[in-house]
Amino acid sequence: MTSMPPVPHRMANTADLAAQAAGRNGALWKLEPGQRDLDANVIALAPGAEIGEHAGPELDVLLHVVAGSGTLHGEGTTVQLAVGDVVYLPARARRRFVAGEQGLCYFSVHQRKKTVGLMPARRPSES
């Protein structure tokens, strides 16, 4: 059986996804598993919601704000986010997102994370 070569195709429309974002939290869309080098998703935060401070992955991340507004806090700086902004998040940089009054919706893309394995880690024994 001969396999077909990969072809470009439409995955999603950020304007359509942004229209569905109102009041929602979490991923609205993500690049489905398969053979690929990139990971991508569209994240929505309801008005005033936040993603708490955390260290980013071992990968650079690029964000594109597609709806709403908010604030990005990290490494002693604050960045106001608005529709159309493209933001670079360096690997391992600390970050925290807070959605504005209309919520926040952004498209995120980065190199695919290496899989660590599917086996659960053992918990230390309780004494």
Statement: residue 126 has pLDDT above 50: no
CA–CA separation, 72 and 93 (whole Å): 12
Structure tokens at 31: 């690049």
Q: What is the mean pLDDT of residues 24-48?
A: 87
Structure tokens at 60: 């650079």
Q: What is the mean pLDDT of residues 18-36?
A: 83
| Nearest-5° Cα angle at 113, 41 to 73 | 60
Count CB atoms within 10 A of the CB of residue 63: 20
Please tell me which residue, 60 or 5, carries the higher pLDDT value.
Answer: 60
Complete DSSP assignment for 27-56: EEEEPPSSS-SEEEEEEEE-TT-EEEEEE-
Q: Where does the pLDDT of residue 3 fall: very low under 50, low under 70, confident under 90, or very high at 90 and above?
A: low
Statement: residue 20 has pLDDT above 70: yes
Statement: residue 58 has pLDDT above 80: yes
pTM recorded for the entire structure: 0.78
Note the pLDDT tens digit of each residue in 67-114.
999 999 998 899 999 999 999 999 999 999 999 999 999 999 988 876
pLDDT at 123: 40
